[in-house]
Structure 1
């Protein structure tokens, strides 16, 4: 049996879809995945996935001639090919055009018209993709399987550790491609970011403990470097491929990031993971595997969460992210590392900063004074 999967998406969306597609593979399906150039290197690390690369940015945001060229190129790849199942993990019906030349016995695509094909708000996307793709009844059932790690990763690009602990921090990231192209600015980029000053303070505290600090980010994150000029750190900003990020995380002890692609890449590793959330609910996104923690800032805020599945609120100050302190993050890193070193398994969980809470109005006034 053959399955054709269409999912370009952000890194996190692709990774959260992999467990459902892996379940198809275990049922005997040969998996062919239409993906963008950015996630192809990661999907190639799964021996059971055959990527079909397309120019997703050109198709979505290019000039009309670029869109047509990209679609025709994909059509040539799948023309007259036969599949037992075609899964298009998008709501927009225009995505169905991408697989038009392929012959499929059964087709599935997302739709808001039917509950069966609608991603239910408030649920983890991994669960929902599995429910829709595998045809699971929407009744009482256990939560989804953990992330499926690649079975053929490159070696870690980092040298051997020179300290007892190696901690990776991700101060940048958080891109929202659709909003960027549509409006020319990135509200999600600032709303979901933990303040850079908090990352700097955390890095200083880790360095004072003689921990090895690693800066991780993409090619567009060069702006964070000056903030860490006086802190000894290994700079991996814009230098690693997606598979190398997973390998590097596995060669580290812990990763600290906000809600961005590296959060999900780190979820494929075996490092302890602390994710910092505010506008989005960590219970719907945090990788579900041991030694993973989501800290949800904004306790007491009526506006939390502000992401409705499509848009973020027109927020002028993300006080929810400011509520999470470096001290709390450091404390949780210690708890995870201590438990792992003693062989005590801690299942994934989410917490809120219950102590030292600051009302949103006070946070805003303090920020204005500064």
Structure 2
């Protein structure tokens, strides 16, 4: 049995998109591979839902943003956990050279790290991140790359934290996110005022509305004051969040962690994109839809994997109207409840072009 080490502390979306690639690596050999995963404490509960992953939890905040003494102590603890193990493959799924120190004392037959200059080790634009992670982890050539690896459903989820009563459809909104320890990607967020208007429109259609997100998303809660939403922001563990989504009809959010969590459940997804390309991020399963704003904008997509173009108005995200989202949510509810399935799709507001992924 070969042993593999993956280094991916977070963010949630990146970890979720890397999971199918890790699972393909795990299944490739008849005896299966042992997958060890160095992660941060935020995503550790998510990875614990996969019994074929052994998590090695590291203090990523201390390693990346701590003082020199804190960094040394955190690295020493991690090195003790992995230093005595011989791995067939060590995959550090980052571009930043600073992450090399994480596996400095590690013995591995092959070490792989993402690279901006080596095409074989880069996440290529226009391709789904999951497929690209698989191409890199499996050591495939361009022409051999897997296509459309589906999200890997977690095991042993708890029961839904919200008991459903009656037959009202349930829609979960994740109005914040797009922020992690290293940066705040505000340009990826659909305006919170639009989420408030969406919630009001859904109430008029007798839809139950639930707010979801992490503790860092509490800033969005006051915007919904006076609306009969069920506020679960900052109140759920990641497994509980997955259980809630699995027991809901539709999730509406932008390019952020909850979008990818929704992708590994059965909930229908209506997502809003602008500066990032949905073709590389929309979960590759049925009943997922991306509304990609900015049709006709010369700058879209402006995110190159590291930075965004200077932008003051976030016009691509604002081009997606509340009315358009309401319409797609209603369609998704009808579609799900009738038992119909549709492939992942991208819709652009101005031209109403629909492309299947």
TM-score, normalized by length of structure 1?
Answer: 0.90
Give the Cα–Cα distance (whole angstroms) in 2 for the partners of residues 130 and 123 of structure 1: 12
| Contact 1:272–1:336 (8 Å) recurs in 2 | yes
1:230 to 204, 221, 226: 226
How do residues 322-361 of structure 1 correspond to structure 2 at under 5 angstroms? 322-354=318-350
SS of equivalent residue, structure 2 residue 182: helix
For structure 1, which segment, 333-342 or 77-86, has the greater mean C-alpha deviation from structure 2 after superposition?
333-342
SS of equivalent residue, structure 1 residue 224: helix
Give the Cα–Cα distance (whole angstroms) in 1 for the partners of residues 236 and 146 of structure 2: 36
How do residues 1-370 of structure 1 correspond to structure 2 at under 5 angstroms? 1-27=2-28, 28-139=32-143, 143-179=147-183, 186=184, 188-189=185-186, 191-354=187-350
SS of equivalent residue, structure 1 residue 177: coil
For structure 1, which segment, 260-269 or 116-125, has the greater mean C-alpha deviation from structure 2 after superposition?
116-125
Give the Cα–Cα distance (whole angstroms) in 2 for the partners of residues 142 and 38 of structure 1: 29
Q: Please report how far the alpha carbon of residue 244 of structure 1 lies from its aligned counterpart in structure 2 after TM superposition.
A: 1.1
Give the Cα–Cα distance (whole angstroms) in 2 for the partners of residues 116 and 303 of structure 1: 27
Give the Cα–Cα distance (whole angstroms) in 1 for the partners of residues 239 and 141 of structure 2: 34
Q: Please report how far the alpha carbon of residue 266 of structure 1 lies from its aligned counterpart in structure 2 after TM superposition.
A: 0.7
Consecutive unaligned residues of structure 1, counting only runs of 5 or more, are 180-185, 357-370
For the aligned residues, what is the CA RMSD? 1.5
TM-score, normalized by length of structure 2?
Answer: 0.94
SS of equivalent residue, structure 1 residue 52: strand
Q: Which contiguous aligned blocks of 4+ residues in structure 1 show a shift greater than 6 angstroms?
A: none
Change in Cα spacing, 1:256 to 1:196, as seen in structure 2 (3 Å) is: same
Deviation per residue, 1:251-295 (Å, 9 max, x gap) = 101000011110001111101001101111111111111000011
SS of equivalent residue, structure 1 residue 237: coil
Change in Cα spacing, 1:277 to 1:86, as seen in structure 2 (3 Å) is: same
Change in Cα spacing, 1:163 to 1:207, as seen in structure 2 (3 Å) is: farther
| Contact 1:163–1:211 (8 Å) recurs in 2 | no
Give the Cα–Cα distance (whole angstroms) in 1 for the partners of residues 145 and 256 of structure 2: 28
| Contact 1:124–1:283 (8 Å) recurs in 2 | yes
Consecutive unaligned residues of structure 2, counting only runs of 5 or more, are 353-357
